[in-house]
Amino acid sequence: MIPKLAWLALAGALGTLTRYEVAGLVHRFAGPEFPWGTFAVNFTGAFLAGLLWTLFEGRWAVSGETRTLILVGYMGAFTTFSSMILESGELLRSSGWAYAVANLTMQNTLGFAAFFAGVALARVVAAV
C-alpha cells in the first residue's frame, strides 16, 4: 500500500503540472504584459476550492483523506499565491504601481468572488 505522504506528493505534483500547463497556455494567448496565466490559475483555483469544499461538506460523501489529497495536495499546488507575489514584485520594479496594484486587487477580490461563486454553484448542484 502506498503511504499517505506519497499520495499527497503525487497529488501535489499533478497540481503543479496542471498549474504550469494552464498558466503557460493562458500566457501564450494573452501576452506577457500582465500575468494573466497566474490570474487564471488563481481565479480557477478559488472557484474550484469553493465548489469542491462545499460539495464535500454536503452532497458528496468524501473521506477526510481524499479531501486532504484534493484540497491540500492538488489544489494547494495548483494555486499560485507565491507566483502572484513574485510577479507583483516584478510589476512594481518594471512597470510601476498601477499594474502591481491591479494584479493584487484583481487576484484577491475576484478570487474571493470566484470562491463564493463555487460555493453557490455547489449549493445549487446539491439541491438537485
C-alpha cell at 16: 503543479
For residue 128, what pLDDT is reported?
67
For residue 115, what pLDDT is reported?
93
For residue 39, what pLDDT is reported?
93
pTM of the prediction? Answer: 0.77
Query: Which of 117 and 58 is assigned the larger pLDDT?
Result: 117
* 2-56: pLDDT as tens digits: 788 999 999 999 999 999 999 999 999 999 889 999 999 999 998 988 888 888 8
- DSSP output for 54-70: HHHHTTS---HHHHIII
Question: What is the extent of the structural domain holding 38?
Answer: 4-127
What's the CA gap between 47 and 95, in Å, rounded? 29
For residue 101, what pLDDT is reported?
94
DSSP reduced 3-state for 96: coil
Dihedral through CA 7, CA 115, CA 117, CA 25, nearest 10? -70
End-to-end alpha carbon distance in the chain:
37
What's the CA gap between 119 and 85, in Å, rounded? 26
Tally the domains of the chain: 1
pLDDT at 103 over 90: yes
* 82-98: pLDDT as tens digits: 778 878 988 988 888 99
How much is the CA Rg of the chain, to the nearest whole Å?
16
